A and B are shown apart, each in its own frame.
Chain A
Amino acid sequence: EAGVTQFPSHSVIEKGQTVTLRCDPISGHDNLYWYRRVMGKEIKFLLHFVKESKQDESGMPNNRFLAERTGGTYSTLKVQPAELEDSGVYFCASSQWNNEQFFGPGTRLTVL
C-alpha cells in the first residue's frame, strides 16, 4: 500500500510569489489533513477535508492560503502571495476515520 505522498519535497520562493503544494493521500482515505510546523514551534493544524468538503478550516492562517480537494482525491494548498512567515514544513496526513493519521514526508517551504 502506497503511503501519503507530497510534492515538492522542497520549495524556495521569493516573497510575493505563489506556491502550490500537493498531497496524495492513501487510497480510500476520506479524511485528509494539512498541518504546518514553523521552525522552533509546534506542529499546527491547518484544515481537514472529508472527501471533497472542508470539514474544519479553523487553522488556516489567513486568506492567502487556499486549499482544495477536487474529486475527493489529492489536495493542493496554495499560498498567494507568500510572506516570510509562511516558511516552514507543511505536512499532509490522511485517515479512514478518527483514528491513526498517516503522514507524508512534508514539504519544506522557504520564503526569501
Chain B
Amino acid sequence: AQSVSQHNHHVILSEAASLELGCNYSYGGTVNLFWYVQYPGQHLQLLLKYFSGDPLVKGIKGFEAEFIKSKFSFNLRKPSVQWSDTAEYFCAVNAGSNYQLIWGAGTKLIIKP
C-alpha cells in the first residue's frame, strides 16, 4: 500500500533560521506530489506541487521543494523562516490515475519570534 512519511512531528525554530521538512513516499510508479499548509484557524491550502518537469519547484511564500526520484523524497525548504510560518505542514501524494491524496502525519512548525 502507498504511504507517506514525514520525518518530524514537531519542529521549533527561531526566526531567520533555515527550514527543511522531510517527506518520503512509497510507490514505485508515477506520482504527483504536494505540500499543503494549515495556518492556525485557516483552511488547508496548497504550498506547492510537482507533477512533472523541473524537480525543483517553487511555491508560495518563499517555499520550495525538490523531488528526488531515486530517494522517493520531496523535501520542503525555506531559507529563512518568519514568525508567520507557524503552521502545520502536510506532504501528500497521489499516484497514477488515482485522485485520492495519501497524506503524511503532518509537521507542526513553531517559529519563535
Contacts and interface: CB of A to CB of B under 8 A. Distances in A.
A35 B99 contact: no
A65 B76 CA distance: 35
Contacts of A48: 99-100
Contacts of B34: 100
A98 B44 contact: no
A85 interface: no
Contacts of A99: 49, 51
B3 to A, nearest CB: 9
Contacts, number: 54
B99 A98 contact: yes
A103 B43 contact: yes
B104 to A, nearest CB: 6
* Contact count band on B: 20 to 34
Interface in B86-108: 90, 92, 94, 97-106
A45 B95 CA distance: 14
A33 interface: yes
A74 B105 CA distance: 28
Interface of A: 3-4, 31, 33, 35, 41-45, 48, 55-56, 58-59, 91, 93, 95, 98-106
Interface of B: 4, 32, 34, 36, 42-46, 49, 51, 90, 92, 94, 97-106
19 contacts: A4-B43, A31-B99, A35-B103, A41-B105, A43-B101, A48-B99, A48-B100, A56-B98, A56-B99, A56-B100, A98-B99, A99-B49, A99-B51, A101-B46, A101-B101, A102-B46, A103-B36, A103-B44, A105-B42
